[in-house]
Amino acid sequence: MTGYDSLLRGSIAALLAAAVLAAPVHAGAADGSKPAKQLFGAAALPAMLAPQPVGFYAKGCLAGGVALPADGPTWQVMRPSRNRNWGHPDLVALVERLSRDAAASDGWPGLLVGDMAQPRGGPMITGHASHQVGLDADIWLTPMPARTLSRQEREEVSATSMLKKDSLYVDPKIWTQARANLLMRAASYPEVQRIFIHPGIKKMLCDTWKGDRSDMGKLRPYWGHHYHFHIRIKCPPGATGCTPQADIGRGDGCDKSLAWWFTDEPWKPAKPDAKPKPKPREVMLSDLPAACSAVLDARSPASAAAATVRAGGVAAPAAPGAAAAISAMALAPSAIPVPTPRPANP
Ligand SMILES: [Zn+2]
């Protein structure tokens, strides 16, 4: 039974019931005066539409999101109160597959899964610039323990940094071959577009990895990412509303583009500006692809459980509203505009 069905029957009582039911679901979609992060942050359940990433990783939303179950044989979802264990079905399938393969072959018992996307994707109140279209997932560099973590532990347990204190280099006492195996496994899947990882960890892989290096280039050095890594998958085939990111190009990235990260430039404090910068304007619904309004307005499933799936994708038909290509984070290091403050969470 849904508010929508009741509306069709047309009785006053049903109309009132529908209004009550619809309140948390519609998240104020018509209210274009609120920042988009508030509208999408208020949506507790996904848009019941065909699965489709809409727009770009850092400027878009998600139709037909599905949830990664909080627990699987080889994964546990962390920070459940954030309700960010949502994604395109292909992302959910990829995370499950990585968890299985790593447990079977890499000496990594299972994944602790951090942020994926909100139920309807979109900008977040806290945390990330990307993760907006259901194709990004953060995976902790801490292995899953042999027991099921309590709800409270999932909220409070901290991840472990891989770095020596106050350094850009990996602590060999913390680093393990299993972590290297896990990262290279993740990079090996053809649907993985790139992986963000701290430059110190990239250097460790460049210096020590003995196996096939053909996917090494997908591991992209970036600020932050020494407690976790960030997997980004490609736009699913046929998802015409999804804006792809430029290919990473050839090469393993163990070159001067990596050496740049061990210079002062990426880390020195930004120069004090002559004039203070105006606060950047909030991203509004009207800044996102037009189809994101329909995503906010769409009906919800009856419950999160109804949209929680096991592995296996659903065909993604085309949706209108492709955004213009944005090439943030696709730039060569020489052309990286060093941002202020340094972003730890793309
Ligand atoms: Zn991330």
Give yes or no: residues 193 and 208 share one domain.
yes
Q: For residue 274, tell me if it sits in a domain.
A: no
Count the domains in the chain. Answer: 2
For residue 192, how far is its CA from the centre of ligand 1 (angstroms)?
A: 14
Give yes or no: residues 16 and 121 share one domain.
no
For residue 171, how far is its CA from the centre of ligand 1 (angstroms)?
A: 22
State the pairing for strand pair 66-67/86-87: antiparallel
206 or 270: which leads in pLDDT: 206
For residue 232, how far is its CA from the centre of ligand 1 (angstroms)?
A: 9
Side-chain half-sphere exposure of 296, counting CA atoms within 13 A: 27
For residue 59, how far is its CA from the centre of ligand 1 (angstroms)?
A: 14
For residue 129, how far is its CA from the centre of ligand 1 (angstroms)?
A: 8
Domain at 221, CATH number: 3.30.1380.10
For residue 9, how far is its CA from the centre of ligand 1 (angstroms)?
A: 45
Give yes or no: residues 61 and 198 share one domain.
yes
Give yes or no: residues 59 and 168 share one domain.
yes
Q: For residue 104, tell me if it sits in a domain.
A: yes
pLDDT at 114: 97
Residue 310 has pLDDT above 70, yes or no: no
Residue 211 has pLDDT above 90, yes or no: yes
Give yes or no: residues 297 and 159 share one domain.
yes
Q: For residue 328, tell me if it sits in a domain.
A: no
Residue 318 has pLDDT above 70, yes or no: no
For residue 230, how far is its CA from the centre of ligand 1 (angstroms)?
A: 5
Confidence band, pLDDT 50/70/90 cuts, at residue 96: very high
For residue 45, how far is its CA from the centre of ligand 1 (angstroms)?
A: 21
Give yes or no: residues 69 and 197 share one domain.
yes
Q: For residue 335, tell me if it sits in a domain.
A: no
Confidence band, pLDDT 50/70/90 cuts, at residue 162: very high
Give yes or no: residues 114 and 216 share one domain.
yes
For residue 77, how far is its CA from the centre of ligand 1 (angstroms)?
A: 14
Q: For residue 338, tell me if it sits in a domain.
A: no
Q: What is the mean pLDDT of the chain?
A: 84
Taking ligand 1, which is a single-atom ion, which protein residues have CB atoms under 5 Å away? 138, 230
pLDDT at 31: 75
Q: What average pLDDT does the segment 211-217 reach?
A: 96
pLDDT per residue as tens digits for the range 168-186? 999 999 999 999 999 999 9
3 or 87: which leads in pLDDT: 87
Residue 341 has pLDDT above 60, yes or no: no
For residue 275, how far is its CA from the centre of ligand 1 (angstroms)?
A: 32
Q: For residue 255, tell me if it sits in a domain.
A: yes
Q: What percent of the chain has pLDDT over 70?
A: 79
- The CA-atom distances, in angstroms, between 82 and each of 44, 79, 280 are 10, 6, 25
Give yes or no: residues 201 and 249 share one domain.
yes
pLDDT at 270: 72
pLDDT per residue as tens digits for the range 12-25? 333 333 333 333 44
For residue 5, how far is its CA from the centre of ligand 1 (angstroms)?
A: 38
For residue 101, how far is its CA from the centre of ligand 1 (angstroms)?
A: 21
Give yes or no: residues 135 and 246 share one domain.
yes
pLDDT per residue as tens digits for the range 241-274? 999 999 888 899 999 999 999 999 999 887 766 6
Residue 346 has pLDDT above 90, yes or no: no
Q: For residue 55, tell me if it sits in a domain.
A: yes
Alpha-carbon gap, residue 27 to 55, rounded angstroms: 20
pTM of the model: 0.83
Give yes or no: residues 181 and 225 share one domain.
yes
For residue 126, how far is its CA from the centre of ligand 1 (angstroms)?
A: 12
Q: For residue 109, tell me if it sits in a domain.
A: yes
Residue 127 has pLDDT above 90, yes or no: no
pLDDT at 320: 30
For residue 19, how far is its CA from the centre of ligand 1 (angstroms)?
A: 36
Its domain, for residue 207, covers: 31-268+284-323
Q: What average pLDDT does the segment 111-122 reach?
A: 98
Give yes or no: residues 4 and 42 share one domain.
no
For residue 145, how far is its CA from the centre of ligand 1 (angstroms)?
A: 22
Give yes or no: residues 19 and 36 share one domain.
no
pLDDT per residue as tens digits for the range 31-66? 778 999 999 999 999 999 999 999 999 999 999 999
